[in-house]
Structure 1
Amino acid sequence: MSDRITVEELAELMKKSAGVTVAPEELQQRYDTGFDAFGIDSLALLGIVGELENRYGTPMPPDAEKSKNPRQFLDLVNSALLAGA
């Protein structure tokens, strides 16, 4: 397990936690597109955050579920993981 969440892992979590399938390549190309454009709302992000906390055994930033886009989410989450490492 890496100490950083990748775009591929985020795409997998979006499918598992929110039922939204987005190819990692598309997610990378639309990195600054709002989560709402992908069909992800704050409740779905909360599910993704919970899954990450379970996987890594580390609390995620309290604002992670309020992230507007994949870039912001990954920056917040990866900062928390690096700080906890």
Structure 2
Amino acid sequence: MSDNQVTTAHPAAAGLTITELVQLLASETGAVAAADSIDDSTTFEDIGVDSLGLLGVITAIERGRGVNLPEESQQLERVTEFVSMVNDNLRKVG
């Protein structure tokens, strides 16, 4: 997954990158992970994020991007699946 994504004036239209998610995870949960260490098999548990921490990240994304993420976003275990789901939802509102 590439961190090179086009940004636009509308925050929801800009895709979420792994780097941005790592920054959100650090600010919301204190979890520290290097973006380049996250691959398709990396889970939130692997990087020290529990369900409550993920809920905080989801809330931050919803507020920051003006989007409502589906309930199942809280059930995703793999980081890249979560980023893909967020970006799918951002495209729908963008």
Code of the residue aligned with 1:43 in structure 2: it is: L
SS in 2 for 1:58: coil
- Structure 1 stretches of 4+ with a deviation exceeding 4 A read none
Does residue 5 in structure 1 map to residue 16 in structure 2? Answer: yes
Residue equivalent to 1:26: 37
Aligned length: 83
Code of the residue aligned with 2:15 in structure 1: it is: R
- Work out the percentage of aligned pairs sharing the same amino acid: 27
Code of the residue aligned with 2:51 in structure 1: it is: S
For the pair shown, the structure with the greater C-alpha radius of gyration is: 2
SS in 1 for 2:69: coil
Q: TM-score, structure 1 length as denominator?
A: 0.89
CA shift for structure 1 position 35: 1.1
- Any unmatched runs of 5+ in structure 1? none
Q: TM-score, structure 2 length as denominator?
A: 0.81
SS in 1 for 2:26: helix
Partner Cα separation in structure 2 for residue 63 and residue 50 of structure 1: 14
Q: Which has the higher helix share?
A: 1
- Give the root-mean-square deviation of aligned CA atoms: 1.3
- Any unmatched runs of 5+ in structure 2? 1-10
Partner Cα separation in structure 2 for residue 24 and residue 9 of structure 1: 9
Residue equivalent to 1:69: 78
Partner Cα separation in structure 1 for residue 93 and residue 63 of structure 2: 14
